[in-house]
Structure 1
Amino acid sequence: MTTSPELLDLAAQLKANDESFVLATVVRTVSVTAAKAGAKAIIRPDGTIVAGWIGGGCARGAVLKAAREALADGVPRMVSVQPDNLLAELGVKPGETKEGVRFASNMCPSKGTMDIFVEPVLPHPALVIFGASPVALALAAQARPLGYHVTLVAPAADLITTPEADLVIDGFALEQQGCGSRFVVVSTQGKGDEAALRAALACDAAYHAFVGSRRKMDSLRDKLIKDGIDAALLDKVKAPAGLDLGAITPEEIAMSILAEITLTRRRGQRG
């Protein structure tokens, strides 16, 4: 079965718009099934199938459940929909996962078997960097080739060169809708530390870090707590930023931060 150009065009459009979706592909069928190997469908996060077709209700429920989970953790899944007698022969129950395959029961009269690969397609990971320090600039330069959408937030007057970023914002004001789930690093290194840290804490992120000594962070923490910032929020900030690689130069420090972000981002995805 060939893939329609319209489905491929929609997938490309969603990717260009940095929208999340799932591409579900039928990879194997046995006996009578409505869809055949090669059939594809695009599924949005709300469970809507917006293009393509992978069969009727026999597989839909199991595939949509797997799609929601895949979008949540970024990990692809293989779903095998089989009649109960075949599941019993394999020694598995509906809903069980064995050797990387999630099994589901086919309650339809056809009693066919269908294996569907569920692949999440997620937006580029977003890295927000506060500051115009050498470490901030090195971090932006190293992150873009790794596929990050980089936003650099700093007063224009502090920039001595054009940063390698997808978006540059003058000052430390970052609109809340521009935050979302992402990685945030404060690398002001003495120029607007407090203002940048306040703005960074307003972003909902999987990772917050501060480039500076533990003593400097403790001082800022005490001041911000007195100003009403939640201590639990401040305790989530990693300081100093990055893995302990013995880094000295701005480029090495940036590398250690990206290594730590990678560890955070990929945790649980290689099980």
Structure 2
Amino acid sequence: MTPAADILDLVSDLKATGEAFALATVVRTVSLTAAKAGAKAVIRPDGTISDGWIGGGCAKSAVLKAAREAIADGKPRLVSVQPADLLQEQGLTAGEESEGVRFASNMCPSQGTMDIFVEPMLPKPELVVCGASPVAIALTELGRQFGYRVVACAPKTSREAFGDIDQLIDGFELENTNRSQRFIVVATQGSGDLAALRAMLSLDANHIAFVGSRKKMANLRGRLTADGVAPEQLDRVKAPAGLDLGAITPQEIALSIIAEVIQSYRQQQQAVAKQTA
């Protein structure tokens, strides 16, 4: 059994590398149980235990299922593993959820009760903003407020225009990464549109949007197609960027875009959660 202190060191390391996982902690036990209160385990997205201990088969399957779901939708779970006769006395069945608690049956000879809190540890989704336009600057400010890891791809001479962002990249050279979900907005607005789009289309991303009219995007699409960019790649770009709020000012346009990013993020999160349920 790995000491809880070592588990917390592992948690710190995984958070630093931006990996998604769940931390399961035994918060209460009654009678005889394999694991005691305070026992912890790190669980990966595929449902495997990376390290730690939360008991044997009596609790394991229910906790692993809860961990997969928690990682998928970002919501914590509380699992209560109880003897079948105790569940029956309360009018409960295994797999049932009541008042935020999911119940599971303990079929082991110990017949003890364990309550396990499953907490998802998810990296921040990444918002990549190309350009140093007023819309781009306003968007980076909103991105930070809504908990995104914000990366600005803009000339280094524009650094002072941006506030507290996580990273500034001089130009559009950005690498693919598995660190987190990535949402890209090209807000160059005439200063490097073609180069920014070409670079961003080479990346893995959950969402790519372009700040500009449909007519402008159609023109850029034609030029990129002539340069050999595949149509299916260009189909990934949402243009114009943002929800239709009737936005006029840079701040309003940025708000419509961050709303669309949030909508995309939550819809994808819900879709994954349904697949793991």
Task: Please confirm whether the aligned pair reaches a TM-score higher than 0.5, indicating the same fold.
Answer: yes
1:249 positional shift: 1.9
Residues 66 and 230 of structure 1: CA distance in aligned 2, closer, same or farther (over 3 Å): farther
1:25 corresponds in structure 2 to: 25
Q: Which one-letter code corresponds to 1:246 in the other structure?
A: G
8 Å CA contact 1:179–1:205 kept in 2: the answer is: no
Q: Give the aligned residue type for 2:144.
A: R
Quick check: 245-254 or 228-237, which moved more? 228-237
Distance in 2, matches of 1:152 and 1:187, equals 10
For residues 42 and 60 of structure 1, the distance between their equivalents in structure 2, rounded to whole angstroms, comes to 12
Tell me the equivalent position of 1:163: 162
CA contact (8 A) 1:83 1:105 kept: yes
Q: Secondary structure at the match of 1:248?
A: coil
Find the counterpart in structure 2 of residue 50 from structure 1: 51
Structure 1 residues 40 and 221, CA gap change in structure 2 (3 angstroms): same
Partner of 1:64: 64
Q: For 1:6-155, what aligned pairs fall within 5 Å after superposition?
A: 6-45=6-45, 47-51=48-52, 53-86=53-86, 90=91, 92=93, 94-95=94-95, 100-155=100-155
CA contact (8 A) 1:39 1:54 kept: yes
- For normalisation by structure 2, the TM-score amounts to 0.81
| C-alpha contact 1:181 1:204 (8 A) present in aligned 2 | no
Counterparts of 1:230 and 1:104, CA distance in 2: 50
Q: Is the 8 A contact 2:79 2:103 kept in 1?
A: yes
After superposition, the C-alpha distances for 1:170-203 in whole angstroms (9 at most, x for unaligned) are: 2222122378631111111111212211221222
Between stretches 10-19 and 238-247, larger displacement belongs to 10-19
What secondary structure sits across from 1:177 in the alignment? coil
In the alignment, structure 1 segments of 5+ residues that lack a partner are none
Secondary structure, aligned partner of 2:177: helix
Unpaired runs of 5+ residues, structure 2, are: none
Mapped to 1, the partners of 2:85 and 2:15 lie a distance apart of 40
How many corresponding residue pairs? 266
- What pairs up with 1:207-226 in 2 under 5 angstroms? 207-226=207-226
Q: CA RMSD in A?
A: 3.0
Q: Could you list the per-position Cα deviations for residues 60-110 of structure 1 after superposition, in whole angstroms to 9, with x for gaps in the alignment?
A: 222123222322332222323334445566453x55556654443323112
